[in-house]
Amino acid sequence: MQVTLDISRAPASDFKFQGCQLSENQPSGPFDGTNPFVDLHLDFPVRFGEYRMGHTPFMVAMKELQAAADGDHERTTAMLQFHSARLNQLNYFHDRADEVRTIIRLYHGKNKQLFKKRVSQFVEDDQGPSLEPQDINASLYTFISFVFLPFVNFEGIKALVEGFSNMATALHSLPFSNFVGDVIDSGFLSNLQRDSLKLYPEIYDAEMPLRAALYLDLIKKEESTKTAARVSTRDFMSYKDLYKDIVEVLGRQIILVAGINNVIHRKDHNKFKVVDGGALSSLEKFAAKTLSEKFKYLDDCWYAIDKSVVDAGVRNSIAHNNVQYDEISQVITYFPNGGGIEQSEGQEMHFLDFMRLILVLFREMHDLHHLIKCLFYYEYLARRQVPFPPESAA
């Protein structure tokens, strides 16, 4: 079928739209530089600027991967195949995002048998008939690991879970049992698990702009920091609250880290080290501290938290709506010192950098979510089975 457009009767126009100019006189070359050029791509960062033939996002990405692999063709191919595999997984799971949300919701419902059935169907692996709490727990984290594999380091998670399990076994004592009992009996651990799970479907809502952020895993760190590129879908305002919400959940997860740290160093989850001439009297007091203050009380901590994943300036600016976003340049301007009558000096970052922050922050939150899983297993398989008498020694 051939379509012919007759513009002979159309009035001349200087109308411009998204960098395109409609006129009767077209440039002799592909792009004459009159307007900004952008070559869009969903899976790789895009760059605006002067048109250069052949410099598509894919070809630019290939050159960066070759540099990251020091020119090794096999390594370059392997990295590209790895990235392609993750993107294919995202394509598959994105189409089933509503199912993911439903299954997570079923976990909190009364019909645990239906939950296990839906998990079995989704992961195509029979989860068994048992409705014991430890088996329900196992089905949940089998599902989470399966669906969110594209976003995390699977081998790293395996080592982390093994480390958490070994830690719980080594700490099996009255002080540790008291800690687990407190966070479970108070409802804190269950509520924290619920709030953590709420974030997972939101990650798939953001998977389109996260694709380019995933690509940054593959190039050298020094090159990644130089990538003033952009994301071709959505905008900052769609995802700013997701970053804030993950930070808040992470801040509560660190309460678990602190309680265990106190058990390790002082045999009591409510005893903290002295900071600035004073010590906190309870884990509840620690929970009321800001995230940056919490780090001060984690002396010689058993768990290494990547503090760089939390940008307090970005988080506070979002929380107080002290942010501006330029949709054309995809530059975020945020004001960590507030937005008073006399506007303080702002700081800038690209939307791609912001999505990268969300990705690495989600990974940290996901890692500590496995600590929640481990503590529930300890409750079901150790603490309930072998309770410690009140008078027993630590």
**Under a CB-based contact definition with an 8 Å cutoff, are residues 258 and 371 in contact?**
no
Show the domain range for 213: 154-383
Q: Which residues contact 165 (CB under 8 A, 6 or more apart)?
A: 374, 377
Q: Is 56 part of a structural domain of the chain? A: no
Grouped pLDDT means (10 residues each) for the chain, 394 residues: 49 46 49 55 61 62 73 82 86 89 94 96 93 94 92 83 90 93 96 96 89 82 51 74 93 96 96 85 93 90 87 84 84 79 75 90 94 94 68 47
How many other C-beta atoms lie within 10 A of the C-beta of residue 41? Answer: 19
Q: Is 356 part of a structural domain of the chain? A: yes
Q: Is 269 part of a structural domain of the chain? A: yes
Q: Is 184 part of a structural domain of the chain? A: yes
Q: How far apart are CA 211 and CA 218, in angstroms?
A: 12
The tokens for 134 are 């430890």
The tokens for 223 are 């090159």
What are the helix (H) ranges across the chain? 57-68, 73-94, 97-107, 112-123, 133-147, 154-170, 174-185, 188-205, 207-215, 221-224, 240-266, 283-287, 291-294, 312-319, 351-378
Q: Is 26 part of a structural domain of the chain? A: no
User: How many structural domains does the chain have?
Assistant: 1
- What does the pLDDT read at residue 118? 96
Task: Name the residue with tokens 């900004």.
Answer: 36
- What does the pLDDT read at residue 351? 86
Q: Contacts from 342-351 at CB under 8 Å and sequence distance 24+?
A: 347/313, 349/314, 350/228, 350/229, 350/230, 351/209, 351/230, 351/231, 351/235, 351/236, 351/325
Q: How far apart are CA 156 and CA 68, in angstroms?
A: 21
Q: Is 8 part of a structural domain of the chain? A: no
- What does the pLDDT read at residue 319? 82
Q: Is 129 part of a structural domain of the chain? A: no
Q: How far apart are CA 262 and CA 265, in angstroms?
A: 5
- What does the pLDDT read at residue 226? 47
- What does the pLDDT read at residue 155? 75
Residue 111 in 3-state DSSP? coil
Closest CA to 353 of 330, 335, 324: 330
Q: Is 223 part of a structural domain of the chain? A: yes
